[in-house]
Amino acid sequence: MAEPSFQSPPPPTDFARISFPNPHTLLVTLSRPTSLNCINSAGNQELHAVWSWLDAEASLRVGIVTGEGRAFCAGADLKEWNESQKPGATPRQSLPPSGFGGLSRRRGRKPVIAAVNGLAHGGGCEMIINCDIVLASSNAIFALPEAKRGVVALAGALPRLTRIVGRMRAMEMALTGRNIPAREARDWGLCNAVCAKGESVVDMAVKWAEDICANSPDSIVVSKEGIELGWEGISAEEGSQRLVDGMFNRMVGGENMKEGVRAFVEKRRPRWVGSKL
């Protein structure tokens, strides 16, 4: 498929491949397969730029992230970290504001689906914990093995994991570092769905993305914000009021709201425009 026309070109990437399975979906494939797609400091900065571009590009409505080869992402590049600790070595770059992989602390406007094709360890697991939808292949493995390496999962995962799977299961993951198979992760609520054996998790993610893209871009942005407000731990009433006073007020009377109602009345499919929120 030919690359769609954008207001600005996608950021250059050395450690990931960018493609567009349909005109409104960005697919980011982590591409360091011989290193199990571990992410170095430059890669974190690249991915921060990519997800920022997704939010800014009006024609795009949803992102997907997956990995090349047998891993989704095995976490941070520990070889790079080890080299940086040697006397006289150049210090590593700090994480971007959006965290590891540009996702672990991201508060973006548009949803990102994780298509977990294999190992999601350490920082890779922290990335998916903050994604909006998580789909897994039947052989996907989730783990936070940091304690085995003498470090800690500090890229935003631990408090959020507690909210997803509960205190006891979060403790189990963080303190034992054990592998959580895909179906167990689904039972815990750590992923939405698991592919049948032999099926492509990226194909599944593209179908889910198409379902999202069929809806109003403005409604998706505002709905995501409403859920994020609850995710951050404020009361339901306060979160609802913030949403009404903020993003929803900017959405009311906009072209997509008018078009959605018109299309319903006229019994036709809506013709959405890119969100300006």
Of the listed ranges 55-64, 68-77, 187-196, 229-238, the least confidently predicted one is 229-238
Q: pLDDT > 90: what percent of the chain?
A: 65
Position 1 pLDDT exceeds 60: no
Mean pLDDT of 192-207: 96
Residue 89 pLDDT grade (very low, low, confident, very high; cuts 50, 70, 90): low
pLDDT of residue 236: 66
Position 92 pLDDT exceeds 60: yes
pLDDT of residue 230: 84
Mean pLDDT of 80-100: 76
Mean pLDDT of 219-245: 81
Mean pLDDT of 24-34: 96
Mean pLDDT of 1-16: 83
**pLDDT per position as a tens digit, 44-70:** 999 999 999 999 999 999 999 999 999
3-state secondary structure the chain: CCCCCCCCCCCCCCCEEEEEEECCEEEEEECCHHHCCCECHHHHHHHHHHHHHHHHCCCCCEEEEEECCCEEECCECHHHHHHHCCCCCCCCCCCCCCCHHHCCCCCCCCCEEEEECCEEECHHHHHHHCCCEEEECCCCEEECCHHHHCCCCCCCHHHHHHHHHCHHHHHHHHHHCCCEEHHHHHHHCCCCEECCCCCCHHHHHHHHHHHHHCCCHHHHHHHHHHHHHHHCCCCHHHHHHHHHHHHHHHHCCCHHHHHHHHHHHHCCCCCCCCCCC
pLDDT of residue 3: 59
Mean pLDDT of 133-154: 93
Position 156 pLDDT exceeds 60: yes
Higher pLDDT, 260 or 213: 213
Position 182 pLDDT exceeds 80: yes
Residue 231 pLDDT grade (very low, low, confident, very high; cuts 50, 70, 90): confident
Task: Considering the domain delimited by 16-213, tell me its CATH architecture.
Answer: Alpha-Beta Complex (3.90)
Q: What is the mean pLDDT of the chain?
A: 90
Q: Is 126 a catalytic residue?
A: yes
Catalytic pick among 16, 71, 74, 76:
76
Higher pLDDT, 272 or 235: 272
Catalytic pick among 123, 124, 156, 239:
123
Higher pLDDT, 254 or 26: 26
Catalytic pick among 68, 146, 185, 205:
146
Position 93 pLDDT exceeds 80: no
pLDDT of residue 253: 77
pLDDT of residue 88: 67
Q: Is 146 a catalytic residue?
A: yes
Give the domain ranges of the chain.
16-213, 217-266
Mean pLDDT of 99-111: 93
pLDDT of residue 173: 96
